[in-house]
Structure 1
Amino acid sequence: MDFDTQAGLIYSTLSDNEKDMIQYIRNHKADVVDMPINELAKVLLSSKSSVLRLAQKLGYTGYSELKYSLKKDIVKKAVVPTDLVEKFRKEIDKTFEYASQVNFASLISEIHKARQVILYATGFTQNNYTKQFSSELFMSGRSNYIVSGETNFEVISHSLTSDDFVIIISLSGNTPGIRTTVNALNMKDIPILSITELGKNFLVENSDYQLYYNTTEFPLEDEHIISMNAVGIVLTILARKYQEFAFFDE
């Protein structure tokens, strides 16, 4: 738990002197992480034992752990992006840029003429966007089937033929559990569209068509968060391209 949260939990139980110590530490975290306990005690007009007791009241084993907690707070604050809206705009712009380099004509033709269109997403976020994409295709008169789970994907692959079309939505494009199934689809000459973040990966190398989307990373010290909003963008672009064909060109 971070320092501010720890302090907030016990603040009302502290003496006035301890509250003053808390306020100083909160306002000078970067300085405190470089201070020996004796130096901090001197600055606080207190004693080494008082600083140590405060650290223990806050739930730390000692002064070193308190400083480590402060350092984590500083690092976390430093790495959080300050303009998330701008990052989101760039995420969208990059995805549109990737799409502008694609010749959709043959891809849309493959989707249109396919006996069955199979949709498979490798993760929870991808699957949510895939459901919306599936609905868009249905509204355009293109039936399709969402397959969930690696085992189900492997099972249904046995019944597919070269007259079908498979769309796989992934992040890295390197999901180990579907490699055997993808290889089997290739052996049966079943056309595949891979939709992944930009880069060289297994799906890109083993698909007939490729679409890419951009991702945004939010690196925190204890976790690694990736924004995948652009999955929805690239799937919407593909759906709109199909709708243009179905409503105006067919």
Structure 2
Amino acid sequence: MDIEARARAYSQNLSETDREILSYILEHKEEVTKLGIAELSQLVHASKSSIIRLTKKLEFKGFSEMKFYLEQSMDKQQVSSYSEQALMQLQKQDLEQTNRLIQQTDFTDIIYAMYQAETIYCYGTGFSQKNSLSELSQAMMYKGKRILTFPAKREFDMNMPLISRKDLVIFVSLSGETDAIKENIDMLTLRKIPTISITNLIQNYLSDKAMYNLFYSASPIFLTSQMKDEFYSFISLKLVIDTLIRKYFEYVR
């Protein structure tokens, strides 16, 4: 969840002072990312403790994490604006960045965890994510691996007691911030059950909690300047899934 979304979600908990500080931050994002907390304190005429309290109310760990999200938000706006001019170039950028991430990733422990698992459980947070997992499921079954993909959270919840440390759970998400499955993630972490997260390239709750992480680059596309809703292509996610399948086939061979 980016800073604008957090501002909307927690607006009822903010005081007048909080709102004034937040208003300045949102209007001067680039400037704030270069400031220390003491400098921002002077500019907004508020104490450092007031700024820290605001970051906590927005569920950031602190001022530094909030600045990180500000930078991510700025990058997202720049990409969205550019995508209106060159959608095919944006596709190329996503694929190239995802490929670089793949080249930089050591798959050894991930593939070994998949190989050792008695059962691989999979959950995708959206339609496209579930489709990608269906390809992984077919490939794993072809190699004789027992794999179960949950069509909905209800089925995931029902099977939670059956999942053990001998198994593996793979999550595929765009934001990695789906509130509905945070309880499941926390319980799996508590029980020390191996998990793999596959998410968009941004710091998120799911990747922080998972034992292993894979990332893809998916930039939002605005088809017209008037559109507020974001559309995402998951071609780069398919590249990660395809790589995971090929790496696994190489290992078992």
TM-score bracket, shorter-length normalisation: 0.5 to 0.7
Cα distance in 2 between the residues matched to 1:89 and 1:137: 29
Write the mapping of 1:9-28 to structure 2, written as runs, cut at 5 A.
none
In the aligned structure 1, how far is the partner of 2:85 from the partner of 2:186? 43
Are the equivalent residues in 1 in contact too, given 2:172–2:197 (CA < 8 A)?
Answer: yes
Match of 1:232 in 2: 238
SS of 2:136's partner is helix
CA shift at 1:99, angstroms? 1.3
- Matching of residue 132 in structure 1 with residue 135 in structure 2: yes
Contact between 1:216 and 1:228, CA under 8 Å: does it hold in 2? no
TM-score, normalisation: structure 2 = 0.64
Cα distance, 1:180 vs. partner? 0.7
- CA distance in 2 between partners of 1:203 and 1:226 (Å): 19
Equivalent residue letter for 2:243: I
Does residue 163 of the first structure (1) align with residue 176 of the second (2)? no
Q: Is the CA contact (8 Å cut-off) linking 2:119 and 2:145 kept in structure 1?
A: no
Structure 1: 5+ residue stretches without partners: 1-77
Letter in 1 for 2:120: V
Q: Amino acid of the residue matched to residue 152 of structure 2?
A: G
Match of 1:180 in 2: 183
Counterpart residue type for residue 184 of structure 1: M
Aligned counterparts of 1:197 and 1:129: Cα–Cα separation in 2:
14
Q: Any residues of structure 2 matched to 1:1-250 within 5 Å, and which?
A: 81-219=84-222, 220=224, 221-222=226-227, 223-247=229-253
Give me the whole-angstrom Cα distance separating, in 1, the residues matched to 2:127 and 2:246: 23
3-state SS, counterpart of residue 171 of structure 1: coil
Shifted more, 218-227 versus 161-170: the winner is: 218-227
Residues 208-239 of structure 1 show CA distances to partners (whole Å, capped at 9, x for unaligned) of: 00000011221232232122221111111111
Q: How far apart in 2 are the matches of 1:95 and 1:141?
A: 29
Q: In 2, distance between residues paired with 1:136 and 1:193?
A: 17
Contact 2:83 2:90 in 1 (8 A): no
CA deviations on 1:173-204 (whole Å, 9 max, x unpaired) are 00000011111111111000000001111101
- Does structure 1 conserve the Cα–Cα contact (< 8 Å) formed by 2:118 and 2:146? no
- Alpha-carbon offset, residue 80 of structure 1: 6.0
State how far apart, in whole Å, the 2-side matches of 1:139 and 1:214 are.
28
Unmatched tracts of structure 2, length 5 or more: 1-80
The RMSD of aligned alpha carbons is: 1.5
* CA–CA separation in structure 2 for the residues paired with 1:104 and 1:80: 31
Matched-pair contact (CA < 8 Å) for 2:140–2:147: yes
> Would the aligned equivalents of 1:119 and 1:147 in 2 still touch at CA under 8 Å?
yes
Whether contact under 8 Å (1:154, 1:178) holds in the other structure is no
The one-character-per-residue Cα deviations of 1:75-97 (angstroms, maximum 9, x if unpaired) are: xxx97634322221221111111
Ranges of 4+ aligned residues in structure 1 off by more than 6 Å: none
Retained in 2: the 8 A contact 1:169–1:194? yes
Deviations 1:36-89 (A, max 9, x none): xxxxxxxxxxxxxxxxxxxxxxxxxxxxxxxxxxxxxxxxxx976343222212
Q: Give the paired residue count.
A: 170
Further displaced range: 176-185 or 81-90: 81-90
